[in-house]
Structure 1
């Protein structure tokens, strides 16, 4: 399994507020299914970050394109394969 860091860049603040509940529901479902490792908003208001866990870039992008934020035009996206290195930080 590979990890993909997806930056959901802010396009429309009002649309983001409107579709936030559906976006969070989508991410919670993907997390339960094992497709999302982590997610959260960026404190500077630029958007958010989602870490997808899929076999391929294409699979990650297919999921991203189903996110209500993307579907409704509230956010753009930028996908990067991510090689996570962890020292078991506490």
Structure 2
């Protein structure tokens, strides 16, 4: 199954504090469905990343665009297919 990296670039740090609980709840829900490989903020505070597990780019884009951070213009979405190399 393909992986998709959603880079969430910070646009509004103040509004981020308000929307963060909804963002986490949304991702928790997807995580329980097996749709998240990993997630977390960047250490420098510039945003974060979510690795979605999806059948298609379109499915991943739909999930990423429904994230409250994206819906409420707190963070700018950049979505790319990600190749996982295991050693």
Q: Deviations over 1:31-86 (max 9, x none)?
A: 10111111000001110010000011111010011100011110011011011112
Residue pairs, 1:51-66, within 5 angstroms: 51-66=51-66
Give the distance between the partners of 1:16 and 1:36, measured in 2 at CA.
21
CA-based RMSD:
0.7
TM-score normalised by the chain length of structure 2 = 0.96
Q: How many residues align?
A: 87
Give the distance between the partners of 1:14 and 1:56, measured in 2 at CA.
33
Give the distance between the partners of 2:72 and 2:15, measured in 1 at CA.
7
SS of 2:44's partner is coil
Residue pairs, 1:1-90, within 5 angstroms: 1-87=1-87
Q: Deviations over 1:4-54 (max 9, x none)?
A: 011000010011110000000000100101111110000011100100000
Give the distance between the partners of 2:5 and 2:61, measured in 1 at CA.
11
Which ranges of 4 or more aligned residues in structure 1 deviate by more than 4 Å? none
TM-score normalised by the chain length of structure 1 = 0.93
Give the distance between the partners of 1:42 and 1:19, measured in 2 at CA.
17
